[in-house]
Structure 1
Amino acid sequence: MGFTMKRKIKWKVVVAAGAAVIAVGVIANVVFRYFRYDAYKQYLSSYEVESGSEFQAAKDDKPSVPGMVLVAENDTLKLYTNTETTEIAVYEKESGNITYSNPVERDSDAIAAGVNAAELNATLTLTYYNAARNSATMNNYDMSIEKGQFTAESIENGIRYTYTLADLDSATGIVPLQITEERLQTLVLDKLDKKDARTVKAKFRLKDGVYKLNEKAQSSKVGMGKLNKLFEQAGYTADDYAVDMSETDEKENISFTIPIEYRLTENGLSVSVPTKEIEEKGGAVISRIRVLPFFGAAGTDADGYMFVPDGSGALINLNNGCKNAAYSQNIYGIDPVVQSYVVTEYTEDARIPVFGMKNGDSAFLGRITGGDALAIVNADVSGKLNSYNYVYPEFCVREIELLNMFGVSGNQADVPVLENDIYDENLTVCYSFLSGDEADYSGMAKCYRSQLIKEGVLKETNDTGDIPLYLDVLGGVETKKHVMGVPYTGISAMTTYEEAEKILEEFYGEDITKIRMNYEGWFNGGIYHDVADKIKLVKKVGSKKDFEHLSDVLEENGGALYGNVSFQKVPYTSKRFNDVLEASKYYSGYVVELGAVNPATMRQTSTLNWYDELAYYMISPKFLSRYVDKFTDKITNYEISGICLRDLSNVLVSDKKRTELIDRQAAKQIVEAQYGKLAATEKTLMEEGGNAYTFGYVSDIIDAPVEYSQFYIIDEQVPFYQMVIHGSIDYSGEALNLRDADIDDALLLTYIEYGCAPRFTFSWEDSSVMKYTSSADQYSTCYQTWMSDAVNVYQTINGALNQVQGAAMIHHEVTEGGLVRTEYDNGVSIYINKTDKSITEDGVTVDAMSYQVKGGKA
């Protein structure tokens, strides 16, 4: 009996020990798989801050900007500065044009007053939150330049100004509330005569080796004025004040130290703010930084426009009289982690980090090369705050989050919570200068494209022949099914691989062969698939052999097959994703959960009562590489042409988890690295959306911006985006059969004007099969309904564009006669008439709502 008991006890010990080992193993797995996982850090870059020396003006044999000294010079430009006001100017040697950081005649502005007048003198403006978390702004003119609180240093090919922006408008001025006995003696008393030293000493009381300013002294404005003069006379500075105030428990005045660097480069002027050099004191923290808000500002007599990157590109005419609105748009759209749940408007994203201005026969292009994912482009016209038109970048260097306080109503219910640390980024804008015939938006696009080609981002393809036809094909879709009256979720095949081949045969019969097919719903559960850590084909649409055969058919006829994949948006239905540990989070710690827009509430958190597939998490950039690695390992086993990336270039998301915050710029670096991995699979990459940081990896872009947001201040839309990538990346817009509007002549002419290939979304089965499913927005896809339209649309657009396939779009304009002219580098020009009357110009007659091609082959 005793022996049996001993055996039972022994087995219990073994079981307990085994359970403990398993528990330890599970915990270790969680710790190393999620908490200690840091593979993403290998993709993050850093920067160095150059050491400077005391500023010395360069020798200037031929001074070109009155009132300024030469900083640096190269073959085309000269950089000047005024060391008293810290403003700069760039002189173009060939044209003689001068671009100033601040308006030259700002002192005579009849509109600007108060802070608006002061900001015309500023080169930096900060938005910050004080210790009470109230928001305010501060510019470096009022709080630094006017007070002489800045230094100047020489750096390679440029100059660095470091500003101390301090709110010293207090009762004590620069007199500290407390100062050590030693510092008061050496910094002040020893440098004054005995009488003045006694006066100063009498205002303080000594305790434990520290002098504290008397309350009586603080209450006397006259006395404090005299005391400030004595401290200044002794050489005591604002920097000394900051040191002493940092040691006091008393409230410290708000102050910021921030540098700005100017360098001449081969492309123009580089302007940088290295945020690692920023210092914040007094309990205040910076949220946003505006850089050179009035660079190249144009006055009320100027003629030209500002270019902004809204959608395909847009122009704001100078002095257009729009006093009720301004332009402000995030580069690469709004971060899902900071966007509102409520959708107030539908807008196009700004997909390229550029802006510019044309003023008479001169122009500049601003390109944000550092901190672009944190940037906002702002623009405004004269007549509201001042007499100038201006366009400039703003950087979100620390985000805020409004937390609702339970039991509190009104404005007091939302308490702003700010991130602890400022983003460590080198915020950089590069300005290029254009003149003469190049001083327009076409010249700006050409300049940007040339830079991208020189950097190896874009390549000139020099392709010829027909344009592609983009064809989205719907495969497996989750639908509600029943077995003996019992409902369950299953997959319906909207188009099998064999049926897709039959659709192709009809196009081939019309001699349309250059088809690039984006196949949706081919793996992991359909269109809204599970995470892409493995590839499990949807059996309902066909086998691997069928899939690869479809790819062969397309390639043999000059087309390609792309398997559509989503990496960042993970549906609620995912079975292999831990949302608590792997999803991006708000700074408060809550998981980011989004979905479809509910038309009743306009909240983008709905499933529309259909499927949980429409609700989704955003995978944290921390774990993105893990899923891409697993996918790339497996996709090489499939002999298909390429991959279509649904969201990797459409959404740029940060992770605000407090213990390991990944800002949006870091997220961009991580995403770029994943493009490199995917490209290394030797699969051709297509993408939806097309943000600029992906241009170097993709051959095709669908859903490229062909529209603009129609903001009230904007006067005209232009194909700037298309002028940058045409001849290097093939592209199309939205699926024409899923538009809200009809396919009419005006739309086709726009596609011809924009060099844009047509795109359709097809299915073999009727769209009614997808009614009340997560794919119900694909409301008209049956190929039989649209086949003849697709053929006619393609033949019309291809008839205009097949002579410029692979050529660079070098010029676009609306002529004086009313024609739209698009010119390519192979000598072909396309004239488009969008009016209701025939127009003859340049020896070309174009009928109403028609086009003509001039040049090229007959």
Structure 2
Amino acid sequence: MCSKRNFKHVGIIVLAMILTVSLLASIAVNAKRERIEFKLPDTSTAETRTNRYTQYHEATKLSGNILTTQGFEKKLENDWMELWFREEIDSIRVVDKKSGYIWGELEKDAMDELNNYYNTMANSLMTIEYYDTENSSYQMSLSDERFMNTYEFDTDTATMTCTAECEDIGIDIGFQIQLVDDHMTVSVIEDSLQEYGDTLISKLYLLPFFGTVKKGSMDGYLFVPDGSGALMRFSSTAEYDSTYTARLYGPDASVDTVNTEMNLLSKRTNDYLVSEFRATVPVYGVVHGDEQYAAMTVVEKGREYATVDAALAGSTVPYNRIMTCFEYRQLYNQPVSKSSTIQRPQADANSMLPTFSIYLLSGKDASYSGMAVKYRSILEENGTLEAEAKASETIPMRLEVVASDVKSGFIFNSVETFTTVDEAKQMQSDLADMGITNLTMVMNGWQKGGASASKYNSYKTQRSVGSIKELAELRDAVKAAGGSFYLQTKVVSMTEDQGRPSYLAAKTIAKKLTSYHRDNKTIMYQDTYLIRPTTAVDKLLSAVDALSGFDLNVPKLGSELYSDYRQDGNTTRAKTRSLYAKAASTAAKDAQLSMSTPNMYMWKNCTDYFDIPMMNSQFLFESDSVPFLQILLKGHVNYYAPYANQGFYTTSCILKTIEYGAYPSFIVMGADNETLSKTPMVDYFSLNFEDWKDTIDTVYSKANAALKEVEGANITEHKAVADGVVRVTYSNGARVYVNYNSADCTVDGITVPQLNFVVERG
């Protein structure tokens, strides 16, 4: 029996509990009343104003010509243009007959803003750089009094010829300028370069300041082949003293310093640095007033040794300019002991015949889009883009399946199986159930030893993955559903476990093994070796024979262009290009080839183009990313975006895929993600197919809804029509509008929903 005293204690406790609950409830109500909800800020506007996108810009109409022909004499002409010349300063003017616009270099003989060094170069038809006996570099322009110049003009062939002799430095050279239909071709005369002194020619510039524009004098931009394509817009306020400098077709790993260490000033290894995109097409241009006047330059010969130099007006040189530099020699580090090197130039000049053509454009053609369409027509005429892309009712999707790779062990390494052939078949079946039948499947790591440790000249399959017969059955299933199937075969690169680098790898000019080094001691393979070009060609052709019936994915064949300085015979960079292009042509007769970011000379024999750049390298002086590559390729070669499940799957990325007409890509495996640990695949943080299945469905569905309407068609125009809104026009009359903004936008009478797209059929 409870006492009254106990009841009193219980009552006090209950009362205290009631008061506590009431107090907490009151606090909660007040907190709810005063709570400020946090909302993520709208970053779409800030994002679309970066140089990862094409910017909307209303160009100011040019009032007229900046240059005149006063003081110049008309020497040559054809139906499209006139060439005027002034011998006193060794300079020209070119008149576009269609528009009446005058092209040339500086407005005056000399500009106060430039020192003598740049004044002589800016108004000169030619500038050379050379090394003296101390390996110091010097520059000399055609207007230098030490040059003895002779000019001839042939009106029948519309050709100007210049021979320049300089006994002072012991270098002679000759070049021609010829008016050929709608373009002007500039070329070095064969065998005209003579070196007979102690100096060595290093670089050659022809028409270096053609199309130059003084800071703040007009609207316009420079177009450079960086990534998908980049614009460098003229500015009256910004000053950039850094320049865009890119070797066409990428650096030569056997000559250029490709493993230069850079300091991130952080605890991360420098392995996390992101490389800039390569210049995969030999074309650039300058626009004077958007859709008003433009000059597009196509480098035709000497591409392997040509560099595009572009610079916006800066404090040192207040002129926007773009030019080609042909490199006859480079400095390299020559070992003199185990611990020291000296810099010295190449002994022999690179063998080439520098040639480029300038096309003058006007009206709507005078834009990055117009340049791309014009250059595409050139590639169609010369056979580079003669094939038409296979059109279908749905778009293709790339699915790279990682089958196996080597796994690091305490004593011995083993092979980790990520995906069996049966699991790959199930993936194909699951995707077919989702409506994805046009599959471009790539099998990576099918060889014995896995992707990174399979022997270079072996075609045996990894038993735990499946047999060659089972791979053939998988191939047949993919093709029967309407897709395509590739076996990945690395013919250009290898790790130390795939063979003897001392025997298989190319050698640098300093007689070291040609390789790429990753500054990360935690990974399995820090060095990737590049194979001797002659050996790589043999491997490609033998792979086609050994894997008869299979199409091949050859990742680096189209993107790596390098020399080989072996004692038993050198292979020049130009020879490597010729070897690889010829081998691809031979291989393509029996097997289709897919490549990753191939250079232009490989497009003719590339059925599927993987990892196409979707922006520029984001240099500060670049203002816009534009789909120049995509305009060239659409309707001819199927091209695919980077792997969506490696960061390219956001809403903006999906919209970018649609804007650029690219097909989605995924890299997957059947195993759990933790199995990637202690393998070379550890860079891929998430590959499990089941984890990504829903994302694959979402990304593909959106891309297919837009791009199936333009399958097989060419892009005829790409243009930003409002802030954050672009319009892409196709040859079948369809127009694709993409809105990156967080609000609906109406353009051309069409309302495009926020972060979405609209397709207007033709």
Same fold by TM-score, threshold 0.5 exceeded?
A: yes
8 Å Cα contact 1:688-1:704 kept in structure 2: yes
Give the one of 95, 115, 129 matched to 1:127: 129
1:92 aligns with 2:96: yes
Decide whether aligned partners of structure 1 residues 680 and 462 sit closer, same or farther in structure 2, where only a CA change above 3 A counts: closer
Give the 3 Å change call, closer, same or farther, for CA 121–762 of structure 1 in structure 2.
same
The offset of 1:366, in angstroms, is 0.8
Q: Give the corresponding residue for 2:537.
A: 625
Aligned residue number for residue 771 of structure 1: 677
Q: Which AA in structure 2 matches 1:116?
A: Y
Q: How far 1:117 sits from its partner (Å)? A: 1.6
* Residue in structure 2 matched with residue 197 of structure 1 by the alignment: none
Select the residue among 347, 354, 360 that pairs with 1:433: 360
Tell me which of the two structures has the higher relative contact order, counting C-alpha pairs closer than 8 angstroms and 6 or more residues apart: 2
Question: Is structure 2 residue 746 aligned with structure 1 residue 834?
Answer: no
Within a 5 Å distance, the mapping from 1:400-799 to structure 2 comes to 400-403=331-334, 406=337, 414-458=341-385, 459-461=387-389, 463-480=391-408, 487-528=411-452, 530=454, 532-575=456-499, 577=500, 579-598=501-520, 608-612=521-525, 614-636=526-548, 639-640=549-550, 642-657=551-566, 660-681=569-590, 683-739=591-647, 743-799=649-705
Deviation at 1:123, TM superposition (A): 2.1
Deviations 1:43-87 (A, max 9, x none): xxxxxxxxxxxxxxxxxxxxx955445554433233343344432
Query: SS at the partner of 2:701?
Result: helix
For residues 626-677 of structure 1, what are the alpha-carbon distances to aligned partners after superposition, in whole Å with 9 as ceiling and x for unaligned? Answer: 22232232222xx33x211111012111123477333322221111111112
Deviates more, 1:528-537 or 1:557-566: 528-537
Q: Which residue does the alignment assign to 1:812?
A: 718
2:289 pairs with 1:348: no
Output the CA distance in 2 between the equivalents of 1:137 and 1:623: 40
Q: 1:106 to 1:538 in 2, by over 3 A?
A: farther
Does residue 388 of structure 1 match 2:319? yes
Q: Which deviates further from its counterpart, 589-598 or 704-713?
A: 589-598
Distance of 2:211 and 2:466 partners within structure 1 = 60
Rounded to whole Å, the distance in 2 between the matches of 1:462 and 1:83 is 54
TM-aligned CA deviation for residue 140 of structure 1: 2.1
CA contact under 8 A between 1:748 and 1:797: conserved in structure 2?
A: yes
Change (3 A) 1:378 1:275: farther
Counterpart among 101, 104, 119 of residue 107 in structure 2? 104
Map Cα deviations across residues 448-491 of structure 1 (whole Å, 9 max, x no partner).
1011111111134472421111101001211246xxxx842232
Encode CA deviations 1:99-157: one digit per residue, 9 max, x unaligned.
Answer: 22x223353x231122122212222222221111122222222255xx54444464944
Q: Which of 322, 328, 334 is the aligned partner of 1:397?
A: 328
Mapped partners of 2:652, 2:239: distance in 1: 28
Q: Which residue of 2 aligns with 1:329?
A: 246
For the aligned residues, what is the CA RMSD?
Answer: 2.3
Residue equivalent to 1:181: none
Match runs of 1:3-42 below 5 Å: none
Give runs of aligned pairs for residues 59-74 of structure 1, distance below 5 A.
65=69, 67-74=71-78
Give the Cα–Cα distance (whole angstroms) in 2 for the partners of residues 85 and 760 of structure 1. Answer: 58
For 2:200, which of 266, 285, 300 is the aligned residue? Answer: 285
Give the match's secondary structure for 1:540: coil
Give deviations 1:764-815, integer Å, cap 9, x for gaps: 0112212111121122100011010011110011111110121111111111
Change (3 A) 1:67 1:464: farther
* Distance in 2 between residues matched to 1:820 and 1:263, nearest whole Å: 39
CA-to-partner distance for each residue in 1:556-596, whole Å, 9 max, x for gaps? 11101111111111211123x5x334422122222223333
Cα gap change, 1:748 to 1:447, in 2 (>3 Å) = same
After TM superposition, the structure 1 stretch with the greater mean CA deviation from structure 2, 82-91 or 294-303, is: 82-91
Find the residue that maps to 1:119 and give its secondary structure.
Answer: helix
Matches within 5 A, 1:241-280: 242=167, 253-274=168-189, 276-280=191-195
The aligned residue for residue 374 of structure 1 is 305
- Segments of 5+ residues of structure 1 without an aligned counterpart are 1-63, 167-241, 243-252, 599-607
- Could you tell me whether the CA contact under 8 Å between 2:187 and 2:355 is conserved in 1? yes
Equivalent AA in structure 2 for residue 349 of structure 1: R
- Deviation of the 1:275 alpha carbon: 6.6
Tell me if the contact between 1:257 and 1:279 (Cα under 8 Å) persists in the aligned partners.
yes
Q: Structure 1 residues 842, 502: closer, same or farther in 2, change over 3 A?
A: same
Letter aligned with residue 576 of structure 2: A
How far apart, in 1, do the equivalents of 2:252 and 2:441 lie?
30
Deviation digits for residues 485-526 of structure 1, max 9, x if unmatched? Answer: x84223222111111010111111111100101110122532
Distance 1:621 1:692 in 2: 18
Contact 2:149 2:162 in 1 (8 A): no
Q: Which secondary structure state, in structure 1, belongs to the residue aligned with residue 430 of structure 2?
A: helix
Q: Cα–Cα, structure 1 residues 274 and 588, in superposed 2: closer, same or farther, change >3 Å?
A: farther
Letter of the 1:356 counterpart: G
Q: Is the 8 A contact 1:479 1:492 kept in 2?
A: yes
Distance in 2 between residues matched to 1:722 and 1:427, nearest whole Å: 27
Gapped regions of structure 2 (runs ≥ 5): 1-67, 263-272
Matching residue's letter, 1:669: S
What amino acid does structure 1 have at the position aligned with 2:334?
L
Which one has the bigger helix percentage? 1
Which structure: larger Rg? 1
- How far apart, CA to CA, are the structure 1 residues paired with 2:602 and 2:338? 46
Distance 2:116 2:91 in 1: 20
1:358 maps to amino acid: V
In the aligned structure 1, how far is the partner of 2:614 from the partner of 2:362? Answer: 28
Amino acid at match of 2:164: Y
In structure 1, C-alpha distance between the alignment counterparts of 2:596 and 2:220, rounded to whole Å: 34
Offset at 1:414? 4.8
Kept after mapping to 2: 8 A contact 1:70/1:78: yes
CA positional deviation for 1:694 = 0.8
Contact 1:632 1:677 in 2 (8 A): no
The worse-fitting range, judged by mean Cα deviation, of 705-714 and 445-454 is: 705-714
Q: Deviations over 1:15-67 (max 9, x none)?
A: xxxxxxxxxxxxxxxxxxxxxxxxxxxxxxxxxxxxxxxxxxxxxxxxx9554
TM-fit CA distance, 1:379: 0.9
Q: Paired residue for 1:305?
A: 221
Deviates further, 303-312 or 70-79:
70-79
Moved more, 723-732 or 579-588: 579-588
- Count of residue correspondences: 677
| Aligned-residue offset at 1:322 | 2.5
CA distance in 2, matches of 1:844, 1:817: 15
Secondary structure class of the residue paired with 1:732: strand
Secondary structure class of the residue paired with 2:214:
coil
Structure 1: distance between partners of 2:261 and 2:379: 34
Task: Check whether the contact 1:77–1:91 (CA below 8 A) recurs between aligned residues.
Answer: yes
* Distance in 1 (alpha carbons) for counterparts of 2:754 and 2:384: 40
Aligned AA (1:126):
I
State the match for 2:161 in structure 1: 160
> Residues 185-200 of structure 1 correspond to what in structure 2 (within 5 A)?
none
Structure 1 CA distance, aligned partners of 2:586 and 2:676? 35
Relative distance call for 1:125 and 1:574 in structure 2 (3 A) is same
